[in-house]
Chain A
Amino acid sequence: MRLPVEWITAYAPLDLGPEAIASRLTMAGLEVEATEETDAGVVLDIKVTPNRGDCLSVLGVARELAAAGGTPYLGAPQCPSSEDEPPDAALHTGVTIEDPDLCPRYAARIVENLRLGESPAWMQRRLVAAGMRPISNIVDITNYVMLETGQPLHAFDYETLRERRIVVRRARPDELLVSLDGVTRPLGTEMLVIADAERPVAIAGVMGGADTEITQATRTLLLESAHFDWKSIRRTARVLGLGTEASYRFERGVDPDGVVYAADLACRLISETGSGTPVPGVVDEYPRRPAPVRLRLRQSRCSELMGYVPTEDEIAGSLMALGFSVAGETGGVFEVGVPSWRRDVTREVDLVEEVARIVGYERIPERLPSGATTQGGDAPGGALRNSIREFLVGAGLQEVKCHTLVAPSGLDQPEPSLGYGDGARIHIRSALSAELSGLRRSLLPGVCDALRRNARHGLGPLAFFEIGAVFSSTGPATHVEREAVAGAMCGPMSERSWLGATRGAEAFFVGSGVVRALLTSLHADAACEVAGGDWEPDARLHPQRQTRIVSGGRTLGILGELHPAQQAELRLRDRCVVFELDLAALASASHADGGSFVPFSRYPAVTRDLAPRVSRGVPYEAVRGIVRRAAGDILERLALTDVFEGPPLAEGLKSFTVSLTFRSADRTLSEADVEAALTQARDRLRSEVGATFQED
């Protein structure tokens, strides 16, 4: 809201420069966002919080400034009250309020001998400074009074009103109104309208109608000053998509007791500027007069909540400066009357705030809380997230944060074997763009986008991970939100070096190395399953280069090379490997604290190599499992040191070289012990996977 400083200080005489005034207002809670030099002097752009409708006016701002600046508030301009005049207006019109809940008060005044013209220059200057366009003396006066008092007014052409009377009611089915902006608006039956005897003539509190607008031909006008239910106004304005200066103020609260005063002030200005002749008296229907609010304020409560002990004078002085009545102070308890314009003040604590902000928050000392407390620390999931991050960062992956709201994409599919609901995408209602149309079901689109974006700029290494929430629908109004970690790697993990090219391992094995080491670092027992068994391959991944990671029958996630089609879509030259793991499943598979200590053997180790030749289709995992089981307890360690295909091996064969370390817990192993274990392993490999050995 823009207001010139001179208009405000006309009611709060404060001998300060505009910057100092702006600062006082800001520190009192009316934030001055900008100041601007204009023809009408300095103009303040004031941000009024939604609870303070009373400050959407010059008088409201002046009252705050006076209280904060310690200067008297001069009050609203003097004006003869129509309530003291003979009730002539009642001879011209009548007001019927059919829905008093939505319209607690409606006042109408009549102005005759209308002379439409320009408003005086001083008024135009203030209006322009406040950001309003001067239109005509009558419109300008209603706007001027609204800016000064906060009460929106509306002028009808009296002679266009059927039966010359006002009915305040809800719109009837199928009623239409052409509003002042020329738009034909269908009205809903929940909307409050101002009608004459036959038809709606205005959308209450929002905008007037074109049919009853004042024109050059208007001789008599009916001036409306009314109070409306803020919820109803807000709903109507929102449904119609029509926010106005009037609706903005009604939504935030206008003083119901100021209704007639605002009409009288407008009539005074009409009369003084020779724009017309007000008919004495007012038609004022006030069926829902709010009960005056009286609150008890304890000095002790002020000090408990502020942590500062305000004096009785400080309490009473602050409140009275803001227009509260303070009476009957006994034993540190005040009886406080809340002014009609402060509908936001409903409890004792609201009064504490008024005292605190006028006394000044700078008076409040800084103190640390003491006493019993919760055990401070990270969230329950924090430790796992940190362990994963620490590992992946150490392994050379850059952490990224990607969008939760995403467009649909081929990569944004949930891993079905995780077993979370139907996996349908959750949509944002009435989304404005595809990018913000739904919630991600997978982290893969995000981490892959990081590959694409950085590759496009020639940046690297391309190795990213994210920990974040993913969502999927589990029914019409139910969903699951879970945390996942995903990574994507493309090309070498470190920059090229003079020490020799980074070994060109298949992308898959780079990812596999990272994921397996991550699982080991989390003490998670997990195995990799090859696609084709009881599960469908993930369509986002290369059908022959993917694995499902399982632990104790539960799927943790997937690992694999990105499907070449997806890779092409991301415009990436090299193969990419990605993984995505479910954090909850990972947490239950991992023994973060590690297990119990197992005493280690003091006896020497014996190392032997085993080199089974098997057909190409036999997975290493099968060989490893057989050796592990066959070699018994004395097998301490098993490491794959070579995989070989090609001559002199026959076509369709490959050989694994496995290095086995044997050690016993209770004795030095003999050659016979080790040979027995090796023989057992060879025999099992022969019988179970048809392995052959060079010595055969």
Chain B
Amino acid sequence: MEELTRLADEAAAEVTAAESTQAVAAIEARYLGGKGSLQALLRTIGALPADERPRFGAAVNAARARLEAAIAERKETLARLERETELASEALDVSLPGVPIPRGRYHPLTATARRITAALAGLGFEFVDGPELEDYEHNFAALNYPEEHPAFDEQMTFYIDDQRLMRTQTTALQGRVMCDRTPPFRIATIGRCFRYEAVDATHHHTFHQVDVFMVDEGVSLSHLKGTLKRFASQMFGGDVQVRFRPDYFPFVEPGVDYAVFWRGRWLELGGAGLIHPNILEAHGIDSERYSGFAFGLGVERIHMIRHGVNDLRHYLENDLRFLSQF
């Protein structure tokens, strides 16, 4: 028994004094291994009287367990210290730039169009694409433009020939959709339009427009206002007010231009109104039973407002100093 106590104390002292995980492993082998001291001591049990054997055995096992625990604890402590030392030696200047990852960006009009699409899709509007090279019929005649009407003065047109032209408004899609659908429907389109305009900070011969329309029973100016309010609050955030002012477009009656009150000012966003019954009737839709609304807006304008851009020309110039800001 004295031998056991001596061995245990000696081992404990060695463990405490060990300075590396390797040293602890050596101590472990020396005392606890198959050929270790404690194992050897246990083999002396046969020399003891039978009644002392259980007590001696229990004492050896208890000493063994204590030593194992001490070794494990010391190992963990030393391993932690060693890890810390190693990590300390691996210090980097974390303020250095990282590996450069090539990164592109969406064109700001694409980003804006995606935002518009998400807002309108959420209100049940299905997007449809139409051609940029349109015909006179869809761009004007089907939209209730009388021949030789002064309304054409606002639509200076790039003609290809007598029948074909570059669309001046995405509204041109309305007739195409009404030809092969029956109400109710909610449709939207987004795309490029062209007008013969002298280019300056607020005018361009090439611009992007959204056109939105729905036809159903009982569609009123009130629904137009409600939809615009919801749409505008999604585009600009927060609660926005919507204001109508009478305006004229051959394809709507009543026709209005709409503005939203945002950050302390009224922003005129585009034209709107109830789809002219002449258009519904021309496409075989009963204008007594069905009515519809339509509204349009400029994609550039939305982006200019949201980001304080002051010159329309930036959008087609593709200068990285502009594009990289969004």
Contacts and interface: CB of A to CB of B under 8 A. Distances in A.
Interface of A: 26-29, 31, 49-52, 230-231, 234-235, 251-252, 304-308, 347, 349-350, 352-353, 356-357, 361-362, 364-369, 371-382, 386, 389, 392-405, 426-430, 432, 436, 439, 446, 449-450, 453-454, 457, 459-461, 463-465, 468-469, 471, 477, 479, 481, 493-495, 497-499, 502
Nearest to A361: B244
A396 B248 CA distance: 46
A382 B206 contact: no
B281 to A, nearest CB: 10
19 contacts: A27-B245, A49-B247, A230-B148, A307-B220, A307-B223, A349-B276, A350-B253, A369-B227, A373-B214, A375-B126, A378-B127, A392-B104, A394-B103, A395-B102, A399-B323, A400-B318, A454-B319, A461-B102, A468-B192
B96 interface: yes
Give the 6 A-B CB pairs with smallest separation, nearest first. Answer: A307-B222, A396-B102, A29-B246, A307-B220, A353-B254, A49-B248
Contacts of B127: 377-379, 382
A379 B129 contact: yes
Interface stretch (B27-35, B67-75, B80-88, B149-157): B149-157
Given A304-B291, A494-B101, 6 more contacts: A50-B248, A368-B227, A400-B107, A401-B107, A429-B159, A461-B102
B158 A401 contact: no
B202 interface: no
Interface stretch (B1-9, B15-23, B179-187): B179-187
Nearest to B185: A374
B104 A398 contact: yes
B219 A494 contact: no
Nearest to B222: A307
Given A389-B110, A469-B192, A477-B161, A361 B256 contact: yes
Given A395-B104, A429-B161, A461-B102, A50 B318 contact: no
B292 to A, nearest CB: 10
Interface of B: 96-97, 99-107, 109-110, 114, 117, 120-129, 131-133, 147-151, 153-154, 158-161, 163-164, 166, 184-187, 189, 192, 194, 196, 205-206, 214, 216-223, 225-227, 229-230, 242-248, 253-256, 274, 276-278, 291, 315-321, 323-324
Nearest to A450: B318
Contacts of B151: 50-51
A469 B208 CA distance: 13
B99 A497 contact: yes
Nearest to B106: A399
B246 A28 contact: yes
Given A307-B220, A373-B186, A393 B105 contact: yes
A400 B226 contact: no
A71 to B, nearest CB: 19
Given A376-B122, A429-B160, A353 B255 contact: yes
B200 to A, nearest CB: 15
Nearest to A428: B158
A499 B131 CA distance: 48
Contacts of A306: 220-222
Given A306-B221, A402-B318, A463-B102, A377 B247 contact: no
Contacts of A430: 159
A374 B187 contact: yes
Nearest to B245: A27
B133 A361 contact: no
Given A50-B154, A366-B229, A369-B223, A234 B100 contact: no
